[in-house]
Amino acid sequence: MKKIIAALTAVLMMTIFFAGCNDPLSKQNVAAGTTSAATEATENTNATVDSNKTYEDNLKGLEELFVDKGYMTIAEDKSNVTEMDASLIGAKEGNRYKANYNNAEVLIELYAFDADNLEDAAKDVINSVKEKGQFQIMNLDPVNAYLSDNGKYLMVYTDKSNPEKDSDNDKRKQEVIETFKAFPNHK
């Protein structure tokens, strides 16, 4: 019996260890299974935003716009939000948000840079995204990313369904990218 408990404990510890290795930017690991309330963003693409409403020109304002547009929700317990180690890309802060769209898991990572005081890591990431549309950290695969028009924000948008061009999910992705790029202005 002791051997079984020891084996189960070892498996659990290895699972936790390897889960932490999957995302080098993640400061914390959110349990793999989350409630649908925590991960479901509204699927209403007709969400309207008051065009007179202003959003603060910071990560919180960008988050608020995305929630108002229905791209994501924030669970009351924030179980669908992971604070990221933004310093790895030279950003001052960043979060990853889990959502669903058309029954596909969508991850939206938003990062804010101090545009007046960019670190070398930030300059490298920003230049790479401008030139290639992606960046790479450590020896991991390159990550597709988008910069806001004002250069203060970076977004990684991952639709795990790998949508085909012109599908509903692809159109949603393009809408999110367009909104992101224009921030803090919006339509």
- For residue 167, tell me if it sits in a domain: yes
SS3 170: helix
Q: What's the predicted TM-score (pTM) here?
A: 0.75
- For residue 2, tell me if it sits in a domain: no
Angle at 108 between CA 107 and CA 111, to 5 degrees: 140
Task: Give residues with Cβ within 8 angstroms of 168, minimum separation 6.
Answer: 102
Q: How would you write the pLDDT of the chain (187 residues) with one tens digit per residue? A: 544 444 444 444 444 333 444 454 554 443 333 334 333 444 444 456 677 789 999 999 999 999 999 999 999 999 999 999 999 999 999 999 999 999 999 999 999 999 999 999 999 999 999 999 999 998 999 999 999 999 999 999 999 999 999 999 999 999 999 999 999 987 6
* Total domains, the chain: 1
Task: Give residues with Cβ within 8 angstroms of 18, minimum separation 6.
Answer: none
Burial class (CB in 10 A: 0-12, 13-18, 19+), 18: exposed
Domain that holds residue 123: 26-182
| pLDDT at residue 51 in the model | 72
- For residue 30, tell me if it sits in a domain: yes
Reported as half-sphere exposure (CB side, CA atoms, 13 A), residue 159 has a value of: 22
- For residue 178, tell me if it sits in a domain: yes
| pLDDT at residue 27 in the model | 44
- For residue 36, tell me if it sits in a domain: yes
Q: How far apart are CA 159 and CA 172, in angstroms?
A: 10
- For residue 15, tell me if it sits in a domain: no
Q: How far apart are CA 98 and CA 128, in angstroms?
A: 25
- For residue 88, tell me if it sits in a domain: yes
- For residue 13, tell me if it sits in a domain: no
Neighbours of 64 (CB within 10 A): 16
